Structure 1
Amino acid sequence: MKIAIVNDDPITLELLNISVLSTPEHQVIWLAESGEQAANFAQTERPDLILMDINMPNMNGVQATRLIMQQSPCAILIVTSSIEDHSDLVFDALGAGAVDAVNTPVLLGNTDANGVDSLLHKIAAINLLIDSSIKHRIKTKKEILLIGASTGGPSALATILAALPIDFPIPIVIVQHVDVQFVSGLCDWLNKQTQLTVKLAEQGSHLFSGNVYMANSDKHLTINKFDVVQYQIEPLDSIHRPSINVLFDSIAHNWSGEALGVLLTGMGKDGAAGLLAMHKQDFCTFAQDEQSCAVYGMPKAAINLNAVDTVLPLDEIAKAICRHFNVDIKSQVMVHE
């Protein structure tokens, strides 16, 4: 595994370097003494894993992690003198995209260091995670499904997700208009309606095939050009936070593979302009029909903009999704609670 190390203390930097190189399957591709330097190096040569110090002047480990996950996303392990003493910063770094944290090894005498085994164990675990994730993410064609919903959306989402096959191989990203405090509960409820894995979309998360990601913030959910979840404040004047328009628009500008946008039942116009942006980039777009909508506002607005390729009743949308992505739809027996 290609590993990079960031630490503003030269002695600690060398100790970590020696510790990593004690395992033959790892190589250290660069060393950085600051967060700024690490961000620049990562853009030039992206490692598989970065060992990131948390306390550094100017740009600390949290800020460096956030910047690297935006510019050159990769696995980041926080290595700090004391996780307990720096718990606030550690949790901030995990929220910014770091995968784990470990205490820095401490020199004992001239040669031995306490904590090396713990460090190498963390690195080995992350290496297995990376290998598994890469295998899970590899497809001959990069694909994504986006769904936006508002009033009446939870029931509509349950209908679609329950009808998709358990081995549906494409990541699904959803913006549902709901207060952020209820998103976790909605996620749990949807998990009971489908055999797919429904999870909260966390800042810095990579998209894995077969998972359903729910927007989980009062900021706008976007997907950047590295296929990573990012939340942003802009646009400030949006009525809805998160906005379906912003998600769809990020795909129109950043996505290099195949994408399908689906706009479901909802009041207002959110999602219509974003669906049009996707349509103009030759991405396929669906909208729910009037008869099956609880409220026809959002789909109607998109249709009026000529942003929709296909208008479908709710119970036909999952089948159309599978046809679009050439996925075999299989019968599923679900117990709805």
Structure 2
Amino acid sequence: MKLGLLLTSLSLALGLRHVLEPAHGVRWLAMEDAAALRLCHDEPPDLLLLQLDSADRVELTRRIMDEAPCPVLLLDLAAELSTEWVFNALGHGALDVVHLPGLADAAALDPALLLRKIQNIQRLTSSPQPAPHRTTATQGTQRTRLIAIGASAGGPAALSLLLHALPPDLDAALVLVQHLDDQFSAGMAEWLARESPLPVRLVQAGEAPQPGVVLLAGRNEHLCLGRHGELRYTPEPTEQIYRPSIDVFFHSLATQWQGDAIGVLLTGMGRDGAEGLKAMRERGFPTITQDQASSAVWGMPKAAAAIGAAAEVLPLERIATRLAELCSRAPTRRTP
């Protein structure tokens, strides 16, 4: 890949270049926001590595996605995670974030995490994702209505707005699957909880979805439903690019869940979630995708709409109202 670098110092750029250049070329380096924006427009990189060290860089991410869109990987180099800036920048459409507090010391830096992130983005932008893992349907006794929501690039902001608009007496359990490393998951749950009328916390392995509670996948493993409706983490399938995979969770819901369910696929790059949402629709569950106009990145919703996975394509501001309408219906006993 040909990379663009937006960093704060030349020494940092030299260290990063040393890590990258065996596998990737550097198209340009900028150390000022205005220069980076101009270069994204005039010489768009295959991927921009953007050092996220201020609220100004959050705003720059928004401007890049609006004026000169290109794939963006955020670099969080602070000793402590900059969660507020990270989630806002991801909400504007940055694809992912990597926390590298040792980057300033190239000798102490393990480059494997950064190179894996770049490789994942390269695979995501150049080829379809592998077929999702499918589980076998079993009988169960779940009665709770479950809303399953998947999101990727642009997801944190979309999830924040969606949860904020939900009624506090919503008669459903919610499970969120967001493409995000587990080191950011707890901070994201706390961040979302500040905007949500419902409590938000990370999924604990073995627990069941609970009405009136929002559970967020919180490990670098896939989340799935077990045969008794319990939430489990699993390393399989290993070939999935992102962990947790939205497709893996949606497919497990389509095959294991015996109560009512609703599937929602929000903004994101690639195809993750499209096939799983289709499986949910084929099971008879209502399915919704976010529309193009309100999506930071209309990749995953577009893929779902293209294969007939979405019963409804709605602007983000309409999805909460529609979920409340669907949850007001009497529950239905379902079988596979």
Counterpart residue identity of residue 144, structure 2? K
1: CA distance between counterparts of 2:268 and 2:312?
A: 17
Aligned to 2:289: 287
Query: Which one has a bigger Cα radius of gyration?
Result: 1
TM-score, normalised relative to structure 2 = 0.55
- CA offset digits 1:164-220 (Å, max 9, x no partner): 111222110000011110010000000100121001001111221100000011110
2:263 to 261, 264, 267: 261
Aligned to 2:155: 153
Contact preservation (8 Å) 2:142, 2:257: no
Whether 1:299 and 2:301 are equivalent positions in the alignment is yes
Contact preservation (8 Å) 2:180, 2:243: no
1:203 to 202, 205, 208: 205
Q: In structure 2, list runs of 5 or more residues that go unmatched.
A: 1-140, 330-336
1:140 Cα offset (Å): 10
Aligned to 1:310: 312
TM-score, normalised relative to structure 1 = 0.55
2: CA distance between counterparts of 1:142 and 1:206?
A: 10
Percent of aligned pairs with the same residue? Answer: 44
**SS in structure 1 at match of 2:292:** coil
1:167 to 162, 166, 169: 169
What is the 5 A alignment of 1:170-181? 170-181=172-183
Q: In structure 1, list runs of 5 or more residues that go unmatched.
A: 1-138, 328-337
Counterpart residue identity of residue 317, structure 1? I
Contact preservation (8 Å) 2:174, 2:214: yes
2: CA distance between counterparts of 1:306 and 1:156?
A: 22
2: CA distance between counterparts of 1:239 and 1:299?
A: 18
Aligned to 2:87: none
What is the 5 A alignment of 1:38-57? none
CA RMSD, 1 decimal: 1.5
Aligned to 1:222: 224
Aligned to 1:247: 249
Whether 1:324 and 2:331 are equivalent positions in the alignment is no
1:308 Cα offset (Å): 0.5
1:141 Cα offset (Å): 4.6
What is the 5 A alignment of 1:96-107? none
1:301 Cα offset (Å): 0.4
Higher relative contact order, chain-length normalized (CA < 8 Å, sep 6+): 2
* Runs of 4+ displaced beyond 3 Å: none
Contact preservation (8 Å) 2:149, 2:176: yes
2: CA distance between counterparts of 1:225 and 1:255?
A: 8
1: CA distance between counterparts of 2:188 and 2:317?
A: 21
2: CA distance between counterparts of 1:268 and 1:256?
A: 29
